[in-house]
Structure 1
């Protein structure tokens, strides 16, 4: 799993995930700009109903995108604070090797392909991480009816 030192992998994973988040944030900003243009271009219909429903739809889309933007911005800040030093137990910043794959306890970005390997970036609040919290390599836990053995912690 670890072709490089864990510190290098964690740093590169963080940089890769930050770049993904930045791309998504830029896309949201672009969509918000397009919605503002659509809202400004919306002409008052003599009947009024069509105009109001169109503006309400645009407003709902803007509200949703604003929430996504705020959530991703917060995730970006949290990711920058995740420790990247080597650790011996499951905690914030731990890089885990499990039979089901590689996990980095950081923020809930999801799957990241990097260096020929796939990593799941999850928060410390994920059910699996909560079940493994504080454990070290070789420890096992029953998780959703399956025995999960922690192969490596870095």
Structure 2
């Protein structure tokens, strides 16, 4: 499997998320400014709710920016063990260790992106092909690592 295509898909998903959050923050700020100018101090609660929404969106944007930094450090080199940037095939599915951005289709195969901090990756950390591990009392076998 071509890991460079998978890495590109992950980077694209993260970039799209960043653009979405930046746009939502800008729209919410504009809405907050409209409220200030047209409604006066009587609607302080509404403005505070908008500010909380901006703070929430900013937090999500910062998380996406952190994911982007993490993914930029990943190279497309083959892996022989479970680590960041590795593509892992188990008897339950394909997993790409990078940033958790959901499912990606590559070469007509579903690949689940998972963070190195996820319980799944922690359970198989450092293992190699042919080894077993357990997650939620379910046994999985590593069939291949790229």
Query: Same fold by TM-score, threshold 0.5 exceeded?
Result: yes
- 1:128 maps to 120
What is the Cα-based RMSD across aligned positions, in Å?
1.4
Matching residue of 2:46: 54
Question: What is the SS of the residue equivalent to 1:60?
Answer: helix
SS in 2 for 1:136: coil
Q: Which residue of structure 1 aligns with residue 23 of structure 2?
A: 30
Aligned twin of 1:6: none
Q: CA deviation at 1:143?
A: 2.6
Please list every run of 5 or more consecutive structure 1 residues that lacks an aligned counterpart in the other structure: 3-8
1:67 to 59, 66, 69: 59
Per the normalisation by structure 1, the TM-score is 0.87
Q: For 1:28 and 1:123, locate their aligned partners in 2 and report how far apart those are by CA, in whole Å.
A: 21
* 2:39 pairs with 1:44: yes
SS at match of 2:39: coil
Task: With the length of structure 2 as denominator, give the TM-score of the two structures.
Answer: 0.91
1:105 has 2:100 as partner: no
Supply the distance in 2 between the matched residues of 1:79 and 1:62 (Cα, whole angstroms): 26
CA contact (8 A) 2:10 2:99 kept: no
Tell me how many residue pairs correspond in the alignment.
144
Could you list the structure 1 runs, at least 4 aligned residues long, displaced by more than 2 angstroms after superposition: 43-46
CA distance in 1, matches of 2:134, 2:67: 29
Q: Specify the alignment match of 1:137 in structure 2.
A: 129
